[in-house]
Amino acid sequence: MTTELETLVTRSTSRARGTGLILLASFCFGTSGPLAKPMMSAGWSPLQMVSLRIGLAAALLLAVVGLVRPAVLRVSRSDWRLIVAYGLVSVAAVQLLYFAAVSRIPIGIAMLLEFTAPILVALWVRFVRGTVLPAQAWVGTVLALLGLAMVAQVWQGLAFDALGLLAGIGAALGAAAYFLLGERGVGTIEPLGLVTWGMVIGAVAIWIVVPPWTVPTDVIDNLTTFGPWHPPVWLLLTAIVLLSTATAYLLSTAAMRHLPSNVVSVLALCEPVVAITIAWVFLGQALTPIQFLGAGVLLGGATLVQISAQRPLVTVLNST
C-alpha cells in the first residue's frame, strides 16, 4: 500500500513538474513574436531573424554547455541519427517553413496550420504506437484548436495560396516531429545535450538557406520601440536568443521527460495566447472579445487534456 501511494505521489509530482516546464516554455516561446517585430521594423527580414536567432542560440549553448557540462555533449553513436533528425526537422524545417507560410498566407492561418501538430501527434500515438487515448484527450485537443482559431482570427484575410498552405502543413509536420522526436530523445539523451546539438545542426541547415553574412549588421545599434521603452536592437536580439530560443527549447524538451508528447503538444498551444497578450500590453495591438473567448476555450481544452493524462493508457497489441 505504501509503495502504491509513493508511486502515485511520484507520478503526480512528475506531471506537475512537466506541466510547469511546458507552460513556462510556452511563455518563453510566446515572447519571440513581440520581440522580433520591432527588430524586423528596424530592417531585418523574418528569415534573417531566424538565421540570427538560431545561429546565436546554437553558439551560446555550445560554448556554455561545453564549459559547464561538457559530459552531456558526449552522446552514443546510435543516438546521432535522432539528433540529426531533431535538428533538421524540429529546428530548421519548422522555422523556415513557418516563415515561408507567413510570407504567402495570413499569419493567423499559418499559425493555425502549424499548431495542428497536437492532432498529428495524437494520431501518431493512437495508430502507430497503438495507444488508446481517453475521449477527454481528443475533445480537449479539438477544443484547444478551436480556441486557437478564435485567437488567431483565421477568417480575416482568408485566401487560398497553394504554396503557402503546403508550407504551413510542412511546419505542422515538423512541429509534430519536434514533440515525438523530443519525447523519444530524452529517454536516452540529456535534454541539454539534445537541444544543444539539435540547435547547432539546425543552425547549419538554416545558414545554407540564409547565410549569416547576408544579414545587415548596421541596424544593431538602432533604437526601436517596445511599449513605452526604446531599447537598441541588440538588446531585443539578446532577449530573443536567451529567452525565446535557448531557454524555451530547453524547458519544452525537459518537459517531455515528465509528460507524454500528446499532452505536451496541446499545452504548448498556450504560446499564441502569450504572444497576443504581450503584443496587446506592450505593442498596443488590441484584443477583440472573440479573442478573449478563444483564449478561454483554448485553455479549457488544454486543461481537459491535462486531466485526461492522469488516466492509465491502454496499448493495443497488433496481432499477426
Q: In this structure, what C-alpha cell is assigned to residue 270?
A: 498556450
Categorize the per-residue pLDDT at 23 as very low, low, confident or very high, splitting at 50, 70 and 90. very high
Domain ranges of the chain: 18-219+228-311
Which pLDDT value is given to residue 264? 92
Instruction: Give the mean model confidence (pLDDT) for residues 152-169.
Output: 78
153 closest CA partner among 111, 101, 97, 95: 111
174 closest CA partner among 253, 89, 245: 89
The mean predicted confidence, pLDDT, of the chain is 87
Q: Other CB atoms closer than 10 Å to residue 1's CB: what's the count? A: 5
Which pLDDT value is given to residue 158? 63
Instruction: Give the mean model confidence (pLDDT) for residues 173-178.
Output: 95
Assess whether pLDDT exceeds 90 at residue 5. Answer: no
Residues 6+ apart with CB under 8 A from 238: none
Instruction: Give the mean model confidence (pLDDT) for residues 149-173.
Output: 82
Residues of the chain with pLDDT > 90, as a percent, come to 48
Which pLDDT value is given to residue 112? 79
CB-CB contact of 197 with 204 (8 Å): no
Q: Which residues pair with 226 in a beta bridge?
A: 229
Looking at residue 274, what DSSP letter applies? H
At 146, the amino acid letter reads: L
Which pLDDT value is given to residue 149? 87
Which pLDDT value is given to residue 17? 93
pLDDT tens-digit series, residues 177-208: 999 999 999 999 999 999 999 999 999 999 99
Which pLDDT value is given to residue 320? 41
Long-range residue pairs from 223-231, CB within 8 A, at least 24 positions apart, any chain: 224/38, 224/39, 224/41, 224/42, 225/38, 226/34, 226/35, 226/38, 226/282, 226/283, 227/281, 227/282, 227/283
pLDDT tens-digit series, residues 109-131: 778 788 889 888 998 988 888 88
Helix (H) or strand (E) holding 94: helix 94-102
DSSP string, 192-247: HHHHHHHHHHHHHHHHHHS-GGGS--TTTT-B--BTTB--BHHHHHHHHHIIIIII
pLDDT tens-digit series, residues 252-299: 999 999 998 888 999 898 888 888 888 888 777 777 888 889 889 998
pTM over 0.95: no
pLDDT tens-digit series, residues 222-237: 999 888 889 999 999 9
Q: In this structure, what C-alpha cell is assigned to residue 118?
A: 497536437
CA end-to-end span of the chain: 38
